Structure 1
Amino acid sequence: MALASLPLLLLLVYCGSSRALELVPSDQKILEKSEGDKVTLECKYNVGPMDIGTLDIDWDLVSADTQKPDQSIIMFSGGVTYVNSEELKNRVHFSSPDPSDGDASIEIVNLKSTDTGSYQCKVKKVPGMKSRKIALSVYLKPAKPRCFIEGSQQIGKDLSLKCESKEGTPPVTYQWFKLTGQQPRPPGLNWDPASGTLPVKNASQYHSGTYRCLANNRVGSEECMLILNVVPPSNVAGVVAGAIIGTLLSLGLVGLLVFFCCKKQREKKYEKEVQHEIREDVAPPKSRNSTARSYIGSNHSSLGSLSPSNIDGYSKARYNQVPSEEHERPQSQTPNFVPPKVAGPNLSRMGAIPVMVPAQSKDGSIV
């Protein structure tokens, strides 16, 4: 009899246990996300008829130090939601508006690297209690890398293609691709995935083209591009000679301009000095009367040097030859001209030379 009732007892125990609180299986064990993303930590459950107690849901951040208590993040108790973490305040909430409907999953938005850790979901409903842990790792994806060329882009020279990303959770690896041509990667070239350096030895025009660098880590990737143009070496000697000749020609042109400017200034200065001297030194023109008087005075001066024997004939002949329009007129038209008296000092200023005239009688003989 006792043996016959044993299978029935086991059946009742099995049926009762199948109705107890249980968590829905999930594939989430380890999650990897990037900063700024959002994540949903799943925790769904089923309640059996024997679980008649109050429903409590609690999410904790498990401490890495076993000697320290876990940190409570968010909880649902008595139909009310409580957020207990200042770090996750306004960034964490239950996925379902009513967690008592069997979904205790939570969602964290705008993830940060400090959110990395192990999260534990605990669902309690007396007499049942179940829990689950999920590991979350938050990474910083690589920042947009910078592509550049180091070295001379000339045939026969050695150069390197560089790719650098300033941010990103390690390890960050790099890959190079040649976009022009039939081959997706640089033929015969090997790069360092850790540093992102692609060395090019003995460069030729075959290496010219457009290249793409891809920087990536666990949670994301970014890329940059550059153009490599390998050209023949330039004629350095010709360039230097051309620069020297151009400099000499420029200096010569400047020298000519300075010379002509100085010459022009000297000519202008000379013209001004000459005009100034003419205005100061040239005497004003003389009138006809002063010319006649000067002529007569010169004849008188000549008389002073003659002897008494020939003074009479010479004076008559010279006085009859005065070049004046008045003397050339007919006798009837010639007015009686009386020369004005001029003082001695005025005569000196006019350029006259004082002479001694011998006294004469009425007949012209010297007394």
Structure 2
Amino acid sequence: MACTGWWFIWSYCLAFILLKYGEGVRVTVRETNLEVVQGDSVTLPCSFFTMMPLFRLNIIWTFMSPSDPQSPTQVIVYDNGQVIESPAFTGRVGFAGIPWSADIILNSTRVSDAGIYRCVVSNPPETGDPGIGELSLSVLAPPSLPVCLWDGDAGAGGTVSLSCMVSEGMPTPEMRWEKLEPEQVSLPVIMEEDHTGSVHIANVSSQTSGLYRCSVTNVLGTQNCYVNLSVYTSSHSSPGILQGVLLTLSMALVLLALLVLVLWLHRSGQEIKWRDGGEEDECYNEIRYTPSLMKRSFV
């Protein structure tokens, strides 16, 4: 009777296991949300249970980017003892405990590695659908060096916009604009979706001139960029510039007229001198040769 009882218990447990796990590979993900700092390594966990030997074990890891969730890409594959890495992850990914575990290690993480990772395990001739596990990876990164620009009319009474752009940072960096000189003043920032923060300053004046700083901050650090804004006053400078231009043109015209007059007088004097010289030569010839002609006539 005792043996019969033990056999009944053993049969019941075996039947329970077969009913519970006999419909395919069971996959468990120990952590569904992971964080890693850019450049560090992280282990993506994936445990599985199967009733069959691991001779034909197949493991596929895929990645879905938040920007394109409908187009998953392959990360790494284990198939019949062979490991195949995706070109995008070559040299940065590998299995941690194959074949007893489907965990993978991702090295030299990048911001672009953030997204949804899926672990798919099958083990023929195990029947049923493959086991699937899914987790989310966030990659933290300090802010990149921002770029500060200004645009608008820097003349008195105009409107100027200061913009600050950062290409990278996770979590999304916070931006702050300040005027540092001649006194420190905080300015309201208008945030946009593309990691850009701007400040609009209307009716600028000479008091608006000074050094402005944009600070970009998240939990991993702070970066700064600067703009030196100079506001000019056009209402007083324009008449002076116009008067100077007109005076210069007037003096140039007077000098040109004097030059023309001098050249004309010089040429007139040359013509008079030439005429007078020609008449003197004719008179001189008559006086010189007349006596000789007279002498010859008497002979």
The verdict on a shared fold, with TM-score over 0.5 as the criterion, is yes
Displacement of 1:245 after TM fit?
A: 1.9
Tell me if structure 1 keeps the 8 A contact 2:45–2:104.
yes
Tell me if structure 2 keeps the 8 A contact 1:211–1:227.
yes
Structure 1 match to 2:243: 241
Which of 284, 296, 299 in structure 2 is aligned with 1:342?
296
Displacement of 1:214 after TM fit?
A: 5.4
Q: Equivalents in 1 of 2:268, 2:96: separation in Å?
A: 101
Tell me if structure 1 keeps the 8 A contact 2:117–2:137.
yes
Displacement of 1:193 after TM fit?
A: 2.5
Judging changes above 3 Å, is the alpha-carbon distance between structure 1 residues 24 and 132 closer, same or farther for their aligned structure 2 residues? closer
Structure (1 or 2) with the greater strand fraction: 2
Q: Equivalents in 2 of 1:71, 1:205: separation in Å?
A: 57
**Higher RCO (C-alpha under 8 Å, 6+ residues apart):** 2
- Confirm whether residue 28 of structure 1 aligns to residue 33 of structure 2: yes
State the one-letter code of the partner of 1:25.
R
1:137-176 paired onto structure 2 within 5 Å: 145-154=147-156, 157-163=157-163, 165=165, 175-176=176-177
Tell me if structure 2 keeps the 8 A contact 1:191–1:198.
yes
Structure 2 gaps, min length 5 = none
Displacement of 1:256 after TM fit?
A: 1.5
Structure 1 gaps, min length 5 = 298-340, 348-367
Structure 2 match to 1:263: 265
State the one-letter code of the partner of 1:271.
K
Q: Equivalents in 1 of 2:49, 2:275: separation in Å?
A: 123
- Confirm whether residue 213 of structure 1 aligns to residue 214 of structure 2: yes
State the one-letter code of the partner of 2:30.
P
Structure 2 match to 1:42: 44
SS at match of 1:121: strand
Judging changes above 3 Å, is the alpha-carbon distance between structure 1 residues 76 and 231 closer, same or farther for their aligned structure 2 residues? same
1:281-300 paired onto structure 2 within 5 Å: 281-283=283-285, 286=288
Q: Equivalents in 1 of 2:281, 2:40: separation in Å?
A: 102
Tell me if structure 2 keeps the 8 A contact 1:58–1:74.
yes
Q: Equivalents in 2 of 1:153, 1:234: separation in Å?
A: 12
Deviations 1:204-242 (A, max 9, x none): 44433211235799x999864211234565243333223
TM-score norm. by structure 1 comes to 0.51
Judging changes above 3 Å, is the alpha-carbon distance between structure 1 residues 23 and 261 closer, same or farther for their aligned structure 2 residues? farther
Structure 1 match to 2:117: 119
Tell me if structure 2 keeps the 8 A contact 1:119–1:134.
yes
Tell me if structure 2 keeps the 8 A contact 1:41–1:134.
no
State the one-letter code of the partner of 2:103.
A
SS at match of 1:193: strand
SS at match of 2:54: coil
RMSD: 5.6
Name the % identity: 17
Q: Equivalents in 2 of 1:137, 1:254: separation in Å?
A: 78
